Amino acid sequence: MSARETILAGIMANQPLSQDLPVIDVSAVIQFDSNLNQFKTVLESIGGIAIEIIDWTALQDMMQSDFAQGKRVVNAIAEIGSIDPNLASLEAAELASVQRAFVKGGIAVAENGSIWLDETAMVNRLLPFIAEHLVIVIEAKNIVATMHHAYQHVASFDTGFGMFLAGPSKTADIEQSLVIGAHGARSLMVCIIQ
Amino acid sequence: MSSQANFTHAEAAEQFIADEPRTDWHDDTLWFVREKRDKAAHSLPEWEQLRQWASDIKYHGLSNMHQLLVDFEKNAIANGIQVHWAVDGKEHNEIIYKIIQDNQVQRIVKSKSMLTEECHLNEFLTEKGVEIVDTDLGERIVQFRKETPSHIVLPAIHLKKQDVSETFHEHLGTEKGNNDPQYLTEAARGHLRDKFIASELAITGVNFAVAETGGFVVCTNEGNADMGAHAAKIHIACMGFEKIIPKAEHLGVFLRLLARSATGQPITTYSSHFSKPRAGQQMHIVIVDNGRSRQLGRESFRNSLKCIRCAACFNTWPVYRRSGGHSYHTAVAGPIGSILNPNLDMQANKDLPFASTLCGSCSNVCPVKINIHEQLYLWRQEITKEGMAAKGKTFAMWGMSEVLAHPAIYRMAGKMGRWVVKHLPFLTNNGMNPWFKQREMPEAPKESFRDWYLNNKKK
Residue B242 shares a structural domain with residue B113: yes
The Cα of B198 is separated from the nearest Cα of chain A by a number of Å equal to 8
Q: What is the pLDDT of residue B443?
A: 80
Q: What is the pLDDT of residue B2?
A: 41
Torsion, Cα B314 B318 B321 B326, to 10 degrees, reads -70
Q: Is A97 on the interface with B (CB under 8 A)?
A: no
> Within a domain: residue B337?
yes
Residue B94 shares a structural domain with residue B183: yes
pLDDT averaged over chain A?
A: 96
Query: Is the alpha carbon torsion for B2, B6, B8, B10 positive or negative?
Result: negative
B275 near B213, Cβ under 8 Å?
yes
- ipTM score: 0.98
Q: Sketch the domain layout of chain A as residue ranges.
A: 26-193
Question: Which residues between 271 and 300 in chain B have a beta carbon less than 8 angstroms from any beta carbon of chain A?
Answer: 271-279, 287, 289, 293-294, 296-297, 299
Residue B321 shares a structural domain with residue B258: no
- Find chain A residues with C-beta within 8 A of B270's C-beta: 129, 163-166, 169, 184
Low-confidence ranges of chain A (pLDDT < 50): none
Reported pTM? 0.93
Last residue in a domain, options B223, B257, B290: B290
Last residue in a domain, options B256, B290, B324: B290
From residue A192, give the alpha-carbon distance in Å to each of A31, A121, B185, B305. Answer: 20, 16, 31, 41
Q: What is the pLDDT of residue B229?
A: 98
> Within a domain: residue B300?
no
Q: Which domain holds residue B426?
A: 391-458
pLDDT in tens, A67-79: 999 999 999 999 9
- Identify the CA nearest to B350 among candidates B314, B390, B312: B390
Q: What is the pLDDT of residue B61?
A: 98
Does B251 sit within 8 Å of A173, measured CB to CB? no
Nearest C-alpha in A relative to B85: A4
Question: Which residues between 65 and 94 in chain B have a beta carbon less than 8 angstroms from any beta carbon of chain A?
Answer: 65-66, 69-70, 79, 85-87, 91
Task: Give the count of Cβ contacts less than 8 A between chain A and B.
Answer: 261
Nearest neighbour of A160 by CB, restricted to B256, B278, B297: B278
> Within a domain: residue B32?
yes
Domains held by chain B: number: 3
- Best A157, A176, A178 residue to mutate vs chain B (most B CBs within 10 Å): A157
> Within a domain: residue B355?
yes
B383 near B353, Cβ under 8 Å?
yes
> Within a domain: residue B282?
yes
Nearest C-alpha in A relative to B191: A183
Nearest C-alpha in A relative to B223: A184
Assign residue B129 a region (left: φ > 0; alpha: ψ between -120 and 50; beta: otherwise): left
> Within a domain: residue B120?
yes
> Within a domain: residue B81?
yes
The Cα of A108 is separated from the nearest Cα of chain B by a number of Å equal to 13
Does B221 sit within 8 Å of A171, measured CB to CB? yes
CA B262 – CA B321 distance, rounded (Å): 15
The Cα of A192 is separated from the nearest Cα of chain B by a number of Å equal to 19
Last residue in a domain, options B255, B290, B325: B290
Does A175 sit within 8 Å of B181, measured CB to CB? yes
A193 near A141, Cβ under 8 Å?
no
Nearest C-alpha in B relative to A111: B266
Does B230 sit within 8 Å of A172, measured CB to CB? no
For the domain that residue B250 is a member of, what is the CATH number? 3.40.50.10420
As its CATH architecture, domain A26-193 has: 3-Layer(aba) Sandwich (3.40)
Helix runs in A46-186, H state only: 57-68, 92-95, 119-122, 127-130, 147-153
Nearest C-alpha in B relative to A126: B230
- Find chain B residues with C-beta within 8 A of A110's C-beta: none
B199 near B110, Cβ under 8 Å?
no
Continuous segment of H or E residues that includes residue B380 = helix B372-385
Residue B339 shares a structural domain with residue B407: no
Residue B410 shares a structural domain with residue B375: no
Q: What is the pLDDT of residue A1?
A: 87
Q: What is the pLDDT of residue B3?
A: 45
pLDDT tens-place values along chain B, 459 residues long: 344 577 899 999 999 999 999 999 999 999 999 999 999 999 999 999 999 999 999 999 999 999 999 999 999 999 999 999 999 999 999 999 999 999 999 999 999 999 999 999 999 999 999 999 999 999 999 999 999 999 999 999 999 999 999 999 999 999 999 999 999 999 999 999 999 999 999 999 999 999 999 999 999 999 999 999 999 999 999 999 999 999 999 999 999 999 999 999 999 999 999 999 999 999 999 999 999 999 999 999 999 999 999 999 999 999 999 999 999 999 999 999 999 999 999 999 999 999 999 999 999 999 999 999 999 999 999 999 998 888 777 777 778 888 888 888 888 888 887 887 777 777 777 666 666 666 777 788 888 888 889 888 877
CA A52 – CA A194 distance, rounded (Å): 7
Question: Which residues between 2 and 41 in chain A have a beta carbon less than 8 angstroms from any beta carbon of chain B?
Answer: 2-4, 6-8, 10-22, 24, 28-30
Q: Is B133 on the interface with A (CB under 8 A)?
A: no
Residue B6 shares a structural domain with residue B141: no
